[in-house]
Amino acid sequence: MKPYQQIPINECGEPLWPIPPEQFFLELPPPYAKLGADYGGKSPFYLRQGVLSALHLAQVHLQQLHPYWRFKIFDAYRPVAVQQFMVDYTFASLLQTHQLDRANLTPAQAQALWEQVFQLWAPPSRDRQTPPPHSTGSAIDLTLCDANGNSLDLGSAIDEFQGAAPDYYANNPDLKSQTYHHRRQVLNQSLQSAGFRRHPGEWWHFSLGDQLWAWQRNQETGSTQFNARYGGI
């Protein structure tokens, strides 16, 4: 269990709303659907009503800093079945990368691989008290793009192990690395201005109102006053 999964959930009952493609660029076709994930007829481009309102405010802040930049949405709402698919897909990819046979893994090898998988992916829990963040409709993976929808380079791809840490380029003095770091800071500043909090280990993942968000707010304030208001949906 991750530390944030101990945060109580006081479900507020807000519905999922579609992310309007005329206001935000969407990564199409949906990246995990391209890999074979079955959304069961649902779309990944949905957020809770209050989270979507905050995303609009964050983009207003972004365009005050860079008038021609916008958000590009990679993934938002994610059914638990899709979370399970991506956990299994990532494990299989690591097996292939390391040229390992699953049937012949030692316990130590299996543990090391699963630890790497869960650096990026929350456990696909169906327990209503421990939902994956994306399955609450209050977490979003996104990046920056120009006015034509062309993604800006932030130093690594979304879901890439190498370079995922938000401050990965902070202490590298070369111009390209500092450009990546600046863009990551702009992304974070814009979203945080609207109440979001960034995943500690992923520059692209932000949430508002889920267990991870509440845990981070409690860490910031040294309190236990924040609970989650969005559970699994």
Residue 131: exposure state from Cβ atoms within 10 A (0-12, 13-18, ≥19): buried
Residues belonging to the active site: 202
Give the residues across from 26 on adjacent strands: 73
Query: Which of 50, 60, 47, 217 is closest to 136 using CA atoms?
Result: 47
Q: Are the C-beta atoms of 79 and 135 separated by less than 8 Å?
A: yes
Task: Round to the nearest angstrom and report the end-to-end CA distance of the chain.
Answer: 20
The CA angle 42-45-47, to the nearest 5 degrees, is 100
Q: Are the C-beta atoms of 61 and 201 separated by less than 8 Å?
A: no
